[in-house]
Structure 1
Amino acid sequence: MKVKYLGESDPVALINGKIYEATATEHNCYRVMDEEDEDYLYPTDAFELVEE
């Protein structure tokens, strides 16, 4: 699924307004690859669902 990050930008983590591929949903979090190509869990409320 595709999600758009709505939080504060951090060039080594996530960038505000950028669309990311969420590979899973776990415990009210999306698993997203960050700007350093590491996957982490981020809270779903920090994103807007763009495409399922």
Structure 2
Amino acid sequence: MSLSLDQMKYEISSEFGVQLGPDTTSRQNDSVDGENTKRLMQMAEQQLGGRIQ
């Protein structure tokens, strides 16, 4: 999976039903950012083969 960070952000916001833009609340942005971070960590762990200690 080689999505750019922006592509990933918009994919997640679409899944969450959040329309990103100037009227998006901090809470909505935080939910998208949190999920983005979670997925990036999962990708890193998979690439390292679970060798994070």
- Alignment TM-score, normalising by the size of structure 2: 0.20
Q: Structure 1 or 2: larger strand share? A: 1
Q: Structure 1 or 2: larger helix share? A: 2
Relative contact order (alpha carbons < 8 A, sep ≥ 6): 1 or 2 greater?
1
